[in-house]
Amino acid sequence: MLKNWWYCAGWDHELSLGKDALLARRIAGESIVLYRKPNGGVVAMEDRCCHRQTALSCGRKEGDSLRCMYHGWKFGPDGRCIEIPGQERIPQEACVRSFPVVEKDNWIWVWMGDPIKADPALICFAVGPGDPAWNIKTSQLRVDANYRQEIANLSDLSHVAWVHDQTFGGTNAWSTVKSKHTLRPRGLDTETWLRGVPAVRFVQHLFPVGTLVDMCFDVQMTLPCNFIMHLKIFSAGSNTEGPSDGQLLLDTYSCQAITPRDEDSVDYYYSWGASRETDSPGMTDLLHEVIGVAFLEDKRILEAQHQRMKEKPDFRTIDYIHDAGPGKLLWLLDKFLKEEAAEQASVVEG
């Protein structure tokens, strides 16, 4: 998996000072423990005591430090051992790996590679629940699938018509529409307009029967697997391209950070909500409820697919027109994976 990248470790409220929480996460194949210092800053270190590999997440927070509760070794926020009960000498190498952390848009981001390269400007754009212009609610989910499947699923929304027939679906225009994909240096933008169609199913009851709308799904995906969707619903206008000239009925943002735990599972941190301007009583609750149901629909499909893929890893699959988005983004992922592998090999040789 990519190393010199930011990975989401969860929502900021999961690390409240009040609860003194130690958060155990698996991120890109590494076990990580996170905690919040009294000054509010977040520490991330390997969840593995350098004495006998006990999980530090079974330990105890002591001010800025973390104590392993097996034999009591204590580690500072930089991972250095600062106390060994019963022994005065602290070996130089008694150190746990620590990772750069940034909090942004109410997400906690951890840099899994070389700390020198940890540039916060590389964290993807998002709209968090703390943004005053939006009413956003958050949640999270574990999916037992490979993150490449998530990339493919999110960069091809044509599955909405089938997987999400009872939630985000309601029109099979998804099958015939052409999305516009634009590759960025570290991700893919996909714009999809559905015009003169029934609204997504879960809001159809808000409009008179037979109402048609224009919908714009503006998606920014950033590797490793972050998905930001700006969904706007307008009354059906007359424009056949470019922005809709209908009236803006609902303006929403859904921000989703999918963190690979290992090859077989991901942690999914997601949100959805409406702009304050277009929100109405209960709307954000409805969005939150429906996205929860929809993600269980994805989970069911992706977990079953993952099992089949593991049974026959060399099975030859067949591409079709809607595989363009997944093809581009997985190509970009593979390019970065190759670059990192080559860099790693040159460091080992050098």
- State the CB neighbour count (10 A cutoff) for residue 281: 6
Which of these ranges, 48-56, 93-101, 159-167, 321-329, lies near ligand FES under the rule CB under 6 A?
48-56
Select from ligand FES, Fe ion, none the partner in contact with residue 298, using the beta carbon and a kind-dependent cut-off of 5 to 8 Å: Fe ion
Q: Please report how close the Cβ of residue 68 comes to Fe ion at its closest, in angstroms.
A: 41
Q: Could you list the residues that contact Fe ion (CB under 5 A)?
A: 298
Q: Give, in order, the Cα–Cα distances in Å from 320 to each of 71, 197, 231, 327.
A: 58, 24, 25, 10
101 forms part of the interface with ligand FES (CB under 6 A)? no
Task: Give the DSSP letter string of 49-67.
Answer: -TTT---GGGSEEETTEEE
Select from Fe ion, ligand FES, none the partner in contact with residue 97, using the beta carbon and a kind-dependent cut-off of 5 to 8 Å: none
For residue 332 the two structure tokens come to 């970009």
CA 206 to chain centre: 30
71 forms part of the interface with ligand FES (CB under 6 A)? yes
Type of residue numbered 232:
K
Select from Fe ion, ligand FES, none the partner in contact with residue 49, using the beta carbon and a kind-dependent cut-off of 5 to 8 Å: ligand FES
Residues linked to residue 102 through DSSP beta bridges, in sequence order = 109
Which of these ranges, 45-53, 87-95, 265-273, 281-289, lies near ligand FES under the rule CB under 6 A?
45-53
Which of these ranges, 51-59, 215-223, 293-301, 327-335, lies near ligand FES under the rule CB under 6 A?
51-59
Q: Please report how close the Cβ of residue 182 comes to Fe ion at its closest, in angstroms.
A: 21
Per-position b or e across 181-203, b if 16+ CB within 10 A of its CB = beeeeebbbbebbbbebbbbbbb
Q: Please report how close the Cβ of residue 7 comes to ligand FES at its closest, in angstroms.
A: 25
Q: Please report how close the Cβ of residue 69 comes to Fe ion at its closest, in angstroms.
A: 41
Q: Please report how close the Cβ of residue 290 comes to Fe ion at its closest, in angstroms.
A: 12
* DSSP character at residue 148: H
Q: Give, in order, the Cα–Cα distances in Å from 63 to each of 12, 54, 60, 74.
A: 19, 21, 10, 11
Which of these ranges, 24-32, 71-79, 261-269, 307-315, lies near ligand FES under the rule CB under 6 A?
71-79
Q: Which is nearer to ligand FES, 51 or 230 (CB)?
A: 51
Q: Please report how close the Cβ of residue 69 comes to ligand FES at its closest, in angstroms.
A: 8
Which of these ranges, 11-19, 63-71, 162-170, 291-299, lies near ligand FES under the rule CB under 6 A?
63-71
Q: Please report how close the Cβ of residue 134 comes to ligand FES at its closest, in angstroms.
A: 44
Task: Please pick, from the candidates 70, 137, 286, 303, the single residue that binds ligand FES as defined by CB under 6 A.
Answer: 70
The three-state (H, E, C) secondary structure of 326-350, written as one string: HHHHHHHHHHHHHHHHHHHHHHHHC
Task: Please pick, from the candidates 35, 73, 75, 295, the single residue that binds ligand FES as defined by CB under 6 A.
Answer: 73
| Gap between the Cα atoms of 69 and 192, Å rounded | 53
Cβ partners under 8 Å of residue 281, min gap 6: none
* Site size with ligand FES, rule: CB under 6 A: 9
Pairing assessment for the beta strands 30-36 and 23-27 based on DSSP bridges = antiparallel
The answer to whether residues 283 and 137 touch, using CB atoms and an 8 Å cutoff, is no
Q: Please report how close the Cβ of residue 115 comes to Fe ion at its closest, in angstroms.
A: 35
- Among 185, 186, 249, which Cα is nearest to 222's? 186
Task: Please pick, from the candidates 68, 143, 177, 228, the single residue that binds ligand FES as defined by CB under 6 A.
Answer: 68
Residues that bind ligand FES (CB under 6 A): 49, 51-52, 54, 68, 70-73
